[in-house]
Amino acid sequence: MTVKRTIRQLLALAVCLEQSDTPLLDCQLMLAHVTGKSRSWLLSHDDLVPENCVRFKFEEMVRRRQTGEPVAYILGYKDFWRSRLSVNSATLIPRPETELLVELALEAMPDGACKVVDLGTGSGAIAITLALEQPDWQLFANDCSSASLRMAQKNATGIDNLFLFRGHWTEAIATHSMDMVVCNPPYIRANDPHLDALQAEPPVALVSGDSGLHDVQLVIKGTRRIIKSGGILILEHGFDQRDAVQDLLKDQGCVAIEMFDDLNRLPRAIKATFQ
């Protein structure tokens, strides 16, 4: 006979997730998923005994998490802004810090017709959020990976002010056509030890040459060509890249350069106007 386990006992499997920074949260999210209940419901009913099939599914998820697979890939989704986005191992998992780019983009442009492109959209997080928040904007988003584009397309179902297309950064985008460019490029150095903790995610979405700035350079140069005069670039960057990115923007004659920290108070985003 199978031993009965209460919700509290199942959540206690968090002790097995030694390599996670957030073991209890991980277990709560996975058990919430398999039970179809919220985390707060689980905590207020933690003496209940879930059905065996729920328990087996949950234990399988804990085993996957023990191998280092991120919770978002195990669940198949990640919440970002107001949306739940499907993700798989072809896409970068949207980070809470990237919501800063959305906030800055929403503040930077007026309501009403304007053309905005999200370069390297991955799961579509930035473009989809902007399209939903500003239905009068015309959003474009590209990615060089067709697997990512398929995921973005799935997430964008029913959104009619967003056009997704395959492409590498600014290639294939018309000259002086965009009012705003938003981009979260890969920016981690190839030999950065932080990469050890990110092995499940696609390297193409994380790593950018020995300096970490290879793609940032391409995006800034390419933006000069596709942006309208007076248009704005909003770019995410590494915590130690602020000065280097600012210099690259100045080299392109940008003005009104503003810099922003993320929720952890680390330098994370930059906004600049192209003349």
Residues that bind ligand GLN in the complex, under the rule CB under 6 A: 95, 184, 186-188, 198, 206, 236
- Smallest CA-to-CA distance from 136 within 158, 114, 116 is with 114
Residue 24 CA to its chain's centroid (Å): 23
* Minimum CB distance to ligand GLN smaller for 25 or for 198: 198
Classify strands 227-236 and 178-183 as parallel, antiparallel or unpaired: parallel
- Tell the smallest beta-carbon distance from residue 57 to ligand GLN (Å): 28
- Tell the smallest beta-carbon distance from residue 147 to ligand GLN (Å): 17
* Minimum CB distance to ligand GLN smaller for 179 or for 215: 215
In sequence order, the β-bridge partners of residue 83 are 80
Q: Give the DSSP letter of residue 86.
A: E
* Minimum CB distance to ligand GLN smaller for 54 or for 190: 190
- Tell the smallest beta-carbon distance from residue 126 to ligand GLN (Å): 11
- Smallest CA-to-CA distance from 73 within 43, 29, 37, 42 is with 29
Tell me the HSE value of 19 on the side-chain side, using a 13 A CA sphere: 13
- Tell the smallest beta-carbon distance from residue 247 to ligand GLN (Å): 20
* Minimum CB distance to ligand GLN smaller for 31 or for 183: 183
Helix (H, G, I), strand (E, B) or coil at 192: coil
